[in-house]
Amino acid sequence: MIEATESDSPLRLFFALGCPADLAGRLCHWRDSLGIEGRPVPAANLHLTLAFLGAQPARRLTALTQLGERLDAQGFALQLDRFGMLGEDVACLFAEQIPEALLRLHRQLREGLEELGITLDPRPFRPHLTLLRQAAPIDDSHAPAFAWDVRQFGLYLSQNSAEGVRYQPLANWALTRAR
């Protein structure tokens, strides 16, 4: 799943839920209809970060994919139904009800990463999907409930270029069907 990397130069990595294309299209359409000032996140970049690893040596990829592979986590339904700010200038969608399975998935990743010597940001996990950066402040509000049937998660490589940031999926794993 991962292309062989010759060098061991650090890679900027994160585990995330990649937003399915049809949902991403609807989210962008809704966001654009609001006419909020800011830098819109392209549809292809919409995601929900589970664990941000920062710069990691490429040789860690094997252990990281083994971690993704061995997690036994369940799929879940996520309702993105709140719209508000994260920090001063990031406009995001949030879930009023955070599914227990999402918290479990985050916790399993956090624990597995700790075993590899990777410590995550100590701040509490605050699941969000960023829609605009450098956004004009907006009041916290209801959003039309965007339903996301979460069936997989992945490991992503964040790359910056003149065209902006791009996230390359390195590996994807299925979540088991909710019982």
Binding window for ligand ATP (CB under 6 A); candidates: 23-31, 93-101, 144-152, 157-165? 157-165
Q: What does the DSSP assignment read for 131-177?
A: EEESPPP---EEEEEEEEEE-EEEEEEEEEETTEEEEEEEEEEEPBP
Least Å from the CB of residue 38 to ligand ATP: 12
**Residue 94 interacts with ligand ATP (CB under 6 A)?**
no
Least Å from the CB of residue 120 to ligand ATP: 7
Can you state the angle between helices 61-70 and 100-115, rounded to 10 degrees?
Answer: 140
> What secondary structure letter does DSSP report for 43?
G
Reduced to 3 states (helix: H, G, I; strand: E, B; else coil), residue 130 is strand
Signed CA dihedral, 88, 50, 48, 40: sign only? positive
With CB under 6 A as the contact rule, the residue among 52, 81, 116, 172 that binds ligand ATP is 52
Binding window for ligand ATP (CB under 6 A); candidates: 60-68, 69-77, 104-112, 158-166? 158-166
**Residue 158 interacts with ligand ATP (CB under 6 A)?**
yes
**Residue 121 interacts with ligand ATP (CB under 6 A)?**
yes
